């Protein structure tokens, strides 16, 4: 009897090749797109790079009227908001990871919590901005009056608080999966030696997942660095460099992303526009590097 499956027609074979090619083209297209974005950023930054040079990076004054551009206030603003946000979010994401990864990995409460935390990442950032303006700003203003700094309400600290909430899911959901992946023979080995639950977490789960949890934190840092809308709404948008640490934290500021969002439509001459785009280029590199480091650590960790 003749086997029909062996009798592949020429058109069937051709379709196999075409299908594979379509998949390949679509995947490569994305690569081309990202490369295109990078090239556009570089080309459009050229006027600014030519007229301002490398000192653009640490120039402290940003004054479009006099055509002076320095990225320093925004670099500081970006790093400051992101790191404060990170410091606030780390205890939460670690606590959530350990609770949902180890103490309560199954059941409706666990699922509800995990889904809600993942939902945090899905809420549009403009909604966080609104919430921050209407709820957080008045609270912060009261708080600032109590500790004796200028009660702006808006500012670096307020943005960091909202950012902290926004980035929790990135570190937490990775952390939950990693902690659930710790091999149970290892945990049982520790229990069998008389370890308590806390001791198992401290001495078995934490060392085993440490680098992975750190990578999750880096990923959430990458997210914080680039966040635009909520920060723009809350940071106060001033390009002046603060004089004291207190002012830098509680006073208004600007990040690279927020200054681009705010001033892009006002940029009325070539160098101004180009300087903004160069800020974008710097931001691009900073986030890409942070993400690459995070990914590398995760790969290293999963091969372990």
Partner 1 sequence: MEHTVVSATNFNAWFGDNHVVKDVTIGIEKNQVIAVMGPSGCGKTTFLRCINRMHELIPGATAKGSLKLYDDEVYTMNPIYVRYKIGMVFQRPNPFPNLSIYDNVIAGYKLNGLKVPKAELDNIVQKSLTSAALWNEVKDSLHKKGTFLSGGQQQRLCIARAIAMEPEVILFDEPTSALDPISTSSVEQLFHELKTNYTLIIVTHNMQQAARVSDKTAFFYLGELVEFDNTKQMFTAPSDVRTQNYITGRFS
Q: How far is the CB of 193 from partner 1 (least distance, A)?
A: 4
114: CB partners within 8 A, 6+ apart:
100, 173, 176
**Of these, 188, 266, 270, 285, which contacts partner 1 (CB under 8 A)?**
188
Write out the binding residues for partner 1, residues 158-187 only, by CB under 8 A.
Answer: 183, 185-186
Residue 54 or residue 192: which is nearer to partner 1 going by CB?
Answer: 192
Whole-angstrom distance, CA of residue 118 vs CA of residue 49: 40
192 binds partner 1 (CB under 8 A): yes
Instruction: State yes or no: residue 194 binds partner 1 (CB under 8 A).
Output: yes
Residue 109 touches partner 1, criterion: CB under 8 A? no
Among 131, 191, 214, 284, the residue binding partner 1 under the rule CB under 8 A is 191
| DSSP states along 215-228 | HHHHHHHHHHHH--
153: left (phi over 0), alpha (psi -120 to 50) or beta: left
Does residue 106 touch partner 1 according to CB under 8 A?
Answer: yes
Those residues whose C-beta lies under 8 Å from the C-beta of residue 189, and which sit 6 or more positions away, are: 204
Of 104 and 262, CB closest to partner 1: 104
Going residue by residue from 195 to 224, which x/- string records binding to partner 1, judged by CB under 8 A? xx--xx--xx--xx----------------
Separation of alpha carbons 288 and 98, rounded Å: 28
63 strand-pairing partners: 68
How far apart CA 301 and CA 295 sit, in angstroms, is 10
For partner 1, the closer CB: 31 or 192: 192
Q: Does 1 bind partner 1 (CB under 8 A)?
A: no
Residue 241 in contact with partner 1, rule: CB under 8 A: no
| Contacts by residues 195-199 (CB-CB < 8 Å, ≥ 24 positions apart) | 197/102, 197/103
Interface with partner 1 (CB under 8 A) = 106, 183, 185-186, 188-196, 199-200, 203-204, 207-208, 304
């Amino acid at each position: 009897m003749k086997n029909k499956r062996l009798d592949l027609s020429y058109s069937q074979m051709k379709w196999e090749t075409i299908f594979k090619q379509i998949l390949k083209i679509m995947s490569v297209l994305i690569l081309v797109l990202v490369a295109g974005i990078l090239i556009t950023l570089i080309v459009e930054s050229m006027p600014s790079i030519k007229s301002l040079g490398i000192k653009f990076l640490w120039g402290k004054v940003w004054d479009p009227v006099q055509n002076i551009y320095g990225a320093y206030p925004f670099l500081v603003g970006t790093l400051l908001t992101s790191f404060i946000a990170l410091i606030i979010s780390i205890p939460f994401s670690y606590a959530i990871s350990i609770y949902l990864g180890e103490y309560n990995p199954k059941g409706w409460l666990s699922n509800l919590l995990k889904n809600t935390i993942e939902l945090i990442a899905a809420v549009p950032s403009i909604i966080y901005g609104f919430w921050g303006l209407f709820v957080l700003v008045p609270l912060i203003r009261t708080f600032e009056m109590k500790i004796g700094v200028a009660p702006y309400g808006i500012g670096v600290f307020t943005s960091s608080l909202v950012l902290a909430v926004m980035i929790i899911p990135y570190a937490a959901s990775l952390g939950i999966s990693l902690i659930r992946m710790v091999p149970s023979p290892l945990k049982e080995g520790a229990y069998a030696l008389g370890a308590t639950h806390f001791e198992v977490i401290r001495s078995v789960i934490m060392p085993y997942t440490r680098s992975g949890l750190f990578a999750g934190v880096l990923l959430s840092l990458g997210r914080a660095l680039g966040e635009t809308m909520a920060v723009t709404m809350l940071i106060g948008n001033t390009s002046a460099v603060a004089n004291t640490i207190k002012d830098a934290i509680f006073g208004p500021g600007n990040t690279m992303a927020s200054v681009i969002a705010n001033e892009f439509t006002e940029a009325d001459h070539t160098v101004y526009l180009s300087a903004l785009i160069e800020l974008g280029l710097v931001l691009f590199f900073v986030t890409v590097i942070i993400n690459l480091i995070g990914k590398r650590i995760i790969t290293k960790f999963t091969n372990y």
